[in-house]
Amino acid sequence: MHANAPTPGSYLDQLNDVQRQAVTTTDGPVLVVAGPGSGKTRVLTFRIAYLIEQGTAPWEILSLTFTNKAAREMKERIENVVGQRASRIWAGTFHSLFARILRVEANHIGYPSNFTIYDTDDSKSLINSIIRELNLDKQVYNTNSIRSRISSAKSNLVTPKLYEKNEELMSQDRMARMPMMHKIYSAYVARSKKAGAMDFDDLLFRLFELFQNHPAVVEKYRNKFKYVLVDEFQDTNTLQYAIIKKLVQYPDSPRNICVVGDDAQSIYAFRGATIQNILDFEQDFKKFNIQTFKLEQNYRSTSNIVEAANAVIGHNRRQIQKKIWSDKGDGQKIQIIRASDDNEEGRRVADTILEQKNRYHLANNEFAILYRTNSQSRIFEEYLRRFNIAYRIFGGQSFYQRKEVKDLIAYLRLVVNPADEEALKRVINYPKRGIGNTSYNKVISLARQQDITAMEALKHVALPKRTRNSADGFIELIETSRKRMESANAYELADYIAKKSTLLDTLRNDNSMEGAAKLENLNALLDGISSFVEEDTVIDTETLPDKSLATYLQNIALLTDADTKDEDKPAEAVTLMSVHAAKGLEFRSVFVVGLEEKLFPSFMSMDTMDGLDEERRLFYVAITRAEEFLTLTYANSRYRFGKVTSNDPSRFLAEVPGDAVENTGANMTSRSARHEFDPVAAQRSRVSGIAPRQRNRSARDMPTRVDPSTFSPSPIEDVQPGATVLHLKFGEGKVLALDGGADNRIATIHFKELSQPQKRIMLRFAKLQVL
């Protein structure tokens, strides 16, 4: 890495004029409006690299993104320019970086530093208990709408107190026949705080409160972060912008802030994001000589695709003026496929992939199938499998959402934070230990009555003798584990709990197919915890790597499926994902499928202009993922919600200019027959094999590179730069460098058999044999 680092500044030659200005204008407020494929990421990474070269310390840079994946990729790219120093940049998601600050500052706001993060299910479950306890009709008080109402209140800086005073909100609730909504909100806030838990919105909102109420704390971070960068600014909500403003000390004297975004790609309004932030940003920082740069040249797609995208987005009502253009030539026309039903749509897409592979020599990983809803993936999977085309699905239920995984995690959560009531509720009687609903209700009512945590109440509540015994056994398990936490690492503890709770045995005794799969998932989770301990997987390592259970939980709580590491993915596979998940990505050939009214645009957003505009932006994002080949498909009828439905072709199809579209009249019918049995294509796709269905393969599934019986780990001191070493999972590698203190020595090792060969490994935990 260091050896072939370019000479200082030389990378600037790789930029066009506007890009270069956006990189080198480091001081004061900067707005970069960046169209799709315009080199946005390149500008961001070079800008950070440039800052570091100009003498800014990496830890003085705060770079906020929306996904861990984006953050990780950015760090890697910066590392290519400035080397290892890049690892000390504060780059990550809003949620993860803020959680990290909150962990340090928790005491100021009455939270324990190892607070729990409630996921959406936990929130819903808590809301349900509140509804029940307030004796409200759950038909009227719908959990989902209450959750989203609470979420949007928080995102708009509305506390329960303000909520109650807000006539508009209160009257909306009365109209919806939910006059007690504000009670639920305030109970929800009180209860999650009591449980030492924060939901996703709290990670932002509590930080805002912290900054608001503790000037010394905010001052500390203002001084720390000399440069603040925000990616995908169009996806920030009011609360996020408010925090950013606090951080850059607006309105007195702003720090150096650079935001990058594209109003046309704003697709998260449904969770509170507002394009208004971009417009406001220009206004808010006008008096500080904000500089605006527009990146308008698209380096990704052919003119046909860019022009189609421009025409489509032109149907939206308001947007920041810009003209996206490409000099890559017209390229292929856009193909539109009409299928009679969803099955045919699946077949035709698989078929066209084969055809393009043959004719244009595209590899599997140069294709993407993008859909509006995750549930559409099934048919495409089916046909890709049938055609022997390797594929890979992103999104849908993430590994960490599975029941068996959540069960073990709930135990771990409870050990780290015994106040965590949702975790307790989940595992108090799983595996069955005779503490059923009746007993649990007693526990809860005592907890409410005495204002203590449920765990405390469990210790004291009056129970029948047998139940008492069970309860004591359960408490004992949690407390013993808690004591072990001081000496044991996350893996040892998780392993202990999985066994002692009889979670593992329960699944072993379940002989059904599902039982076996669950057991495998649980083992995969344990594997994951073990690699967390062994490797330096902590994304942010300003402090020493922390291998505690609390840190592990914090990390995975904010992980989504798109973030799971893909070191063992099939090398060449067609990508299947939702359009949302595809943002920021590009593929030579893209299929946007299910282009029907009520599906895309979704029936949920069709009745408002704002909703429709957002769907159109989503469509814009979808088509701008394509570099050369773009295929749009729709079906006359499809199976949905258990019955056959038929819808008109999406209005968006009509917005694609006719001269960009291939004249398809004749080939609507069965072109499939011609290619279905093409032996060459079949042969080629067979090579890449059948894709594994699950995304998160456990380390157990990885090819065994080393025979465990002959493996004997060497003492830490023997691991020196230049040495060739053997790792049980990663195989043979060469030690490139060592760093870290005596107790926390970290080796950077190049494992030649891995797709991402370079790994940083903590010697304290890793087992390495020097050869």
Please identify, using beta-carbon distances, which residue of 518 and 675 lies nearer to DNA.
518
Structure token pair of residue 303:
């003119």
Q: Interaction with DNA in 364-403: which residues (CB under 7 A)?
A: 372-375, 395, 403
Compute how many residues bind DNA; rule: CB under 7 A: 49
565 is annotated as an active-site residue: no
Provide, rounded to whole angstroms, the least separation between the CB of residue 109 and DNA.
20
Of the pair 182, 426, the CB lying nearest DNA is at 426
Q: Which of residues 576-595 bind DNA (CB under 7 A)?
A: 578, 580-581
Q: Is 103 in the site for DNA (CB under 7 A)?
A: no
| Residue 2 CB coordination number (10 Å) | 9
Q: Report the residue number, 18 or 99, with the smaller CB distance to DNA.
A: 99
| Backbone dihedral angles phi then psi of residue 193, each to the nearest 5 degrees | -65, -45
Instruction: Determine if 529 is a binding residue for DNA (CB under 7 A).
Output: no
Active-site entry in 105, 119, 201, 232: 232
**Of 347, 392, 625, 759, which residue is the catalytic one?**
625
Q: Is 199 considered catalytic here?
A: no
Residue 187 backbone class (left: φ over 0; alpha: ψ -120 to 50; beta: rest): alpha
Collapsing DSSP to helix, strand or coil, 345 comes out as: helix
Find the radius of gyration of the CA atoms of the chain. 27
| CA-based end-to-end distance of the chain | 24
| Least distance CB 270 / DNA (angstroms) | 4
Note whether 93 binds DNA by CB under 7 A. Answer: yes
Does 453 help bind DNA (rule: CB under 7 A)? no
d(CA 373, CA 240): 27
Residue 432 annotated as catalytic? no
- Among the residue ranges 54-62, 92-100, 626-634, 718-726, the one whose residues contact DNA (CB under 7 A): 92-100
ω into residue 708 within 30 of 0, thus cis? Answer: no
Query: Per CB under 7 A, does 464 bind DNA?
Result: yes
Distance between CA atoms of 75 and 79, rounded to whole angstroms?
6
Token pair of 556, please? Answer: 């995975």
Q: Is 562 near DNA (CB under 7 A)?
A: yes
- Sign of the Cα torsion 753, 754, 758, 760 reads negative
The active-site residue out of 67, 265, 352, 537 is: 265
Taking the least distance from each CB to DNA, the nearer of 461 and 478 is 461
Out of 434, 515, 689, 740, name the contact with DNA by CB under 7 A: 434
Clarify whether 406 is annotated catalytic: no
Selected range binding DNA among 22-30, 31-39, 93-101, 660-668, rule: CB under 7 A: 93-101
Quote helix, strand, coil % in the chain, to nearest 5: 50, 15, 35
Query: Omega before 757 cis (within 30°)?
Result: no
As measured in angstroms, the least distance from the Cβ of 424 to DNA is 15
Task: Give the closest residue to 453 by CA, choosing from 475, 438, 485, 468.
Answer: 475
Q: Using the rule CB under 7 A, is 689 a contact of DNA?
A: no
Contact present, 742 and 725 (Cβ < 8 Å): no
Instruction: Name residues contacting DNA, limited to 24-83 (CB under 7 A).
Output: 66-67
Q: What count of Cα atoms within 13 Å lies in the side-chain half-sphere of residue 432?
A: 3
Q: Does residue 192 contact residue 151 with C-beta atoms inside 8 Å?
A: no
Separation between Cα atoms, residue 580 and residue 495, nearest integer Å = 36
Q: Specify the residue, 413 or 433, whose C-beta has the smaller distance to DNA.
A: 433
Q: Does 144 bind DNA (CB under 7 A)?
A: yes
Question: Which residue, 578 or 698, is less far from DNA as judged by CB?
Answer: 578
Check binding of 176 to DNA (CB under 7 A). no
Q: Is 469 one of the binding residues for DNA (CB under 7 A)?
A: no
Q: Can residue 152 be called a binding residue for DNA (CB under 7 A)? A: no
What is the three-class DSSP state of 659? helix
271 contacts DNA (rule: CB under 7 A): yes
Do the Cβ atoms of 497 and 549 come closer than 8 Å?
no
**CB of 119: closest distance to DNA in angstroms?**
7
Q: Taking the complex as a whole, how short is the minimal distance between the CB of residue 409 and DNA, in angstroms?
A: 16
Q: Which stretch binds DNA (CB under 7 A): 14-22, 73-81, 264-272, 417-425?
A: 264-272
**Minimal distance in Å, beta carbon 325 to DNA?**
29
Pattern of binders to DNA over 485-514, x per CB under 7 A? ------------------------------
Token pair, residue 401, equals 């959402």
Q: Whats the size of the chain, residue-wise?
A: 771
Q: Quote the CA–CA distance of 559 and 703 in Å, as a whole number.
A: 25
Indicate if 202 belongs to the active site: no
765 counts as binding DNA under rule CB under 7 A: no
602 binds DNA (CB under 7 A): yes
* Binding of residue 622 to DNA (CB under 7 A): no
Instruction: Please give the DSSP secondary-structure letter assigned to residue 26.
Output: -
Question: In the bound complex, what is the minimum distance in angstroms from residue 611's beta carbon to DNA?
Answer: 7
| Residue 432 sits in the site that holds DNA (CB under 7 A) | yes
Please identify which residue in 7, 437, 487, 709 interacts with DNA, judged by CB under 7 A. Answer: 437
Distance (Å, rounded) from C-alpha 736 to C-alpha 163? 57
* Contact (Cβ atoms closer than 8 angstroms) between residue 716 and residue 738: no
Active-site residue among 19, 40, 332, 613? 40
Catalytic residue among 21, 24, 26, 41: 41
Verify binding: residue 744, DNA, rule CB under 7 A.
no
Q: Smallest distance from the beta carbon of 508 to DNA, in angstroms?
A: 16
The catalytic residue among 173, 231, 421, 563 is: 231
Nearer to DNA, 393 or 455 (CB): 393
In Å, the largest CA–CA distance within the chain is 81
438 counts as binding DNA under rule CB under 7 A: yes
Give 679: exposed, middle or buried? Use CB within 10 Å, 0-12, 13-18, 19+.
exposed
Residue 445 CA to residue 267 CA, distance in Å, equals 43
- Residue 144 CB, nearest approach to DNA (Å): 5
Would you say 641 or 677 has its CB closer to DNA?
641
3-state SS track over 178-236: CCCHHHHHHHHHHHHHHCCEEEHHHHHHHHHHHHHHCHHHHHHHHHHCCEEEECCHHHC
Decide whether 591 or 730 has the Cβ nearer to DNA.
591
| 276 given a catalytic annotation | no
Q: Tell me: does residue 677 bind DNA (CB under 7 A).
A: no
Q: How many helices (H) and strands (E) does the chain have?
A: 30, 20
List, as own/partner pairs, every contact residues 51-59 make where C-beta atoms lie below 8 angstroms and the sequence separation is at least 24, other chains included: 51/26, 51/227, 52/78, 52/82, 52/85, 52/86, 53/8, 53/9, 53/82, 54/26, 56/226, 56/227, 57/88, 58/85, 58/86, 58/87, 58/88, 58/89, 59/88, 59/89, 59/90, 59/224, 59/542
For position 565 contacting DNA by CB under 7 A, the verdict is no
Question: Which residue of 55, 642, 703, 741 would you call a contact of DNA, by CB under 7 A?
Answer: 642
Site string (199-218) toward DNA, x via CB under 7 A: -x------------------
Contact residues: DNA, CB under 7 A? 66-67, 93-96, 120, 125, 128, 138-139, 142, 144, 200, 267-268, 270-271, 372-375, 395, 403, 429, 432-439, 464, 467, 558, 560-562, 578, 580-581, 602, 604-605, 618, 639, 641-642
Residues involved in catalysis:
40-41, 231-232, 265, 625
